[in-house]
Amino acid sequence: MNNEAYESDTYLRKTLEALSQPGPNQFLQLTVAEEGEALRLLNEGGRVYGIIQAANPPVRLTVKQKGFRQTILKSFLDQYSQTKWAITEIARQNPPATVPALIGAADHRREFTQQIWFSQAKQDTNLGFFYALIAMTCLYSSFWGGLRNTLHLQADLSPQGARRSTAPRLTKKVLSYLTRWRHSQSVLPKY
């Protein structure tokens, strides 16, 4: 959108112009318009997927609907805003650092993660469904097992629960008490 903030933000303007150069790496098709014209183009439902508005400090994106292209525009503008903020902060805290050198350094982004493959096998999309099925089976079986145990232990819901609730409980505990009591009653010989 053509406004005063857009005219004063030379880095945003140059970045958008560079990304809209025709060629195999053209990222977007830039049309600079006033606010009313930009909203009309967006609402027509044509090839306008978003309106980029320069503002102080963030850059805003106006879209008509959610979609893949709108998400790409949003991620690009987020990356631009973060890079611009980082360059501004570095230049403010370190005056000898020149802005063009920082911009040149920002152009060469480093990857700090590396994607590795454990085998040379071709990725199979059905494999994800297979593992999801195994996970779902484990989850449902744990629910079923917990429900089964709960229902079988209640005296009013199953004969096994009734039998367990009338039977003496904690036989090991009772036996340990009896054993301790017997040992306490025995008289040890004195030497």
What does the pLDDT look like over 1-20, one tens digit per residue? 677 777 777 788 888 888 88
Euclidean distance between CA atoms 151 and 143, whole angstroms: 12
Residue 121: strand, helix, or coil: coil
Same domain, yes or no, for 142 and 79?
A: no
Task: Please choose, from the candidates 22, 18, 76, 69, the residue with its C-alpha nearest in 3D space to the C-alpha of residue 42.
Answer: 69
Q: Residue 48: its pLDDT value, please?
A: 84
Q: Are 14 and 101 in a shared domain? A: yes
**Predicted pLDDT at 132:** 93
Please check whether residues 102 and 135 belong to one and the same domain.
no
100 and 136 both lie in a single domain: no
Query: Is pLDDT of 133 > 90?
Result: yes
The model's pTM = 0.53
pLDDT at 128 over 70: yes
Task: State whether 95 and 140 are in the same domain.
Answer: no
Cβ 30 vs Cβ 47: under 8 Å: no
pLDDT at 135: 94
pLDDT score of 54 = 82
- The whole domain housing 45 covers 4-107
Q: Which pLDDT does position 14 carry in this prediction?
A: 85
**Is there a domain that residue 114 lies in?**
no
> Do 83 and 23 share a structural domain?
yes
The answer to whether position 56 is within a domain reads: yes
| Domain's final residue, options 72, 107, 142 | 107
- pLDDT score of 134 more than 90: yes
Is the CB of residue 28 less than 8 Å from the CB of residue 19? yes
- Compute the distance between CA of residue 36 and CA of residue 51 in angstroms, rounded to an integer: 11
The DSSP output letter for 186 is S
In the block, which residue shows the tokens 């449902």? 140
**Most confident residue range from 45-49, 58-62, 73-77:** 73-77
Residues 103 and 147 in one domain: no
Residue where a domain terminates, one of 48, 75, 107: 107
Residues 124-152 have a mean pLDDT of 84
**What was the pLDDT predicted at 169?**
61
Q: Does residue 190 lie within any of the structural domains?
A: no
Residue 122 lies in a domain: no
Within-domain flag for 96: yes
Residue of 76 and 147 predicted with greater confidence: 76
**Does 123 map to a domain?**
no
* Tokens 């199979």, residue located: 124
Percent over 70 (pLDDT), the chain: 81
Q: State the average pLDDT over residues 46-68.
A: 82
Does a structural domain hold residue 29? yes
Say if residue 138 is in the same domain as residue 77: no
| Domain membership flag for residue 165 | yes
Query: Quick one: 135 and 70 in the same domain?
Result: no
pLDDT tens sequence across 103-113: 777 777 777 88
**Domain finish residue from 74, 107, 140:** 107
Residues 83, 38 share a domain: yes
Number of domains comprising the chain: 2
Answer whether residue 99 shows pLDDT above 90: no
**CA gap 179, 182 in Å, rounded:** 5
Which of these ranges, 27-36, 79-88, 89-98, 129-138, has the smallest mean pLDDT? 89-98
Closest CA to 72 of 50, 92, 94: 50
Q: Do 84 and 172 belong together in one domain?
A: no
Does the pLDDT value for residue 149 go beyond 80? no
Q: Is 51 helix (H, G, I), strand (E, B) or coil?
A: strand
Contacts 24+ apart (CB under 8 A), 141-144: none
Say whether pLDDT at 126 is over 80. Answer: yes
Burial (CB < 10 A; 0-12, 13-18, 19+), residue 70, is: middle
